[in-house]
Copies of this chain bind each other. A is one copy, B any other.
């Protein structure tokens, strides 16, 4: 059975933002479902807390749940039999995971750092849709933008150079964090170089080399291993878009 209040849910000052699913009904946090007296809803959702490295799901598992990340960051990836890994996305608070996945998950997902998430039982999906009539439309919209992002990533993986890939990644991550309330022109990397490499279809060494090159060229600055300042967003954009001649600027 579903745990209605996990330790995290009970802790009202737990880190993290609103659950994007519950948010469709103007509730701020999943744990608020119980306080709100909406017991029908509370019964089908529970909050979960995961330590760094813990798995939310594994490729091939029965797709029983739908997740909404409320804090932390998650890596979603696929593996080849020999161990080659492709990270298909990094998820942050507000992102969904697991919808429309058929009856088995087609990917694995693990916490990059401590994560809290709101978890829904898919078996209760029809009930959930009844409770939240806007849900389906919201999910569809979300799926559409995920699909657009996936297509952008295909362009990156299929046709961009290593430098263009890294520039795209830095701008994308920085923009996302800015929209989430972070300082503009700044970004914090929740993942290792190896994970960035597996996301961009490169190796750790190449990610490291290109980072150095961008640093030496004065386009970025490393505040720490995991914090980067973007000094020339315009130049970085030109590279990321693959504009002819942009390479020269980063020589």
Contact = CB atoms under 8 A, between A and B. Distances in A.
Contacts of A152: 78, 106
Interface in A227-251: 241-244
Contact of A82 (B153, B198, B244): B244
Nearest to A105: B148
Interface of A: 78, 80-82, 84-86, 88, 99-102, 106-107, 136-137, 139-141, 143-148, 150-155, 157-160, 198, 200-201, 241-244
Contacts of A147: 100, 143, 146-147, 150
A29 B101 CA distance: 28
A235 B51 CA distance: 41
**Of residues A81, A84, A85, A154, which shows the largest number of chain B Cβ atoms within 10 Å of its Cβ?**
A154
Given A88-B151, A143-B144, A157-B201, A244 B81 contact: yes
Contact of A86 (B86, B136, B154): B154
Given A81-B244, A242-B82, A143 B145 contact: no
A80 B145 contact: no
Contacts of A145: 100, 102
A159 B80 contact: yes
A107 B151 contact: yes
A140 B81 contact: no
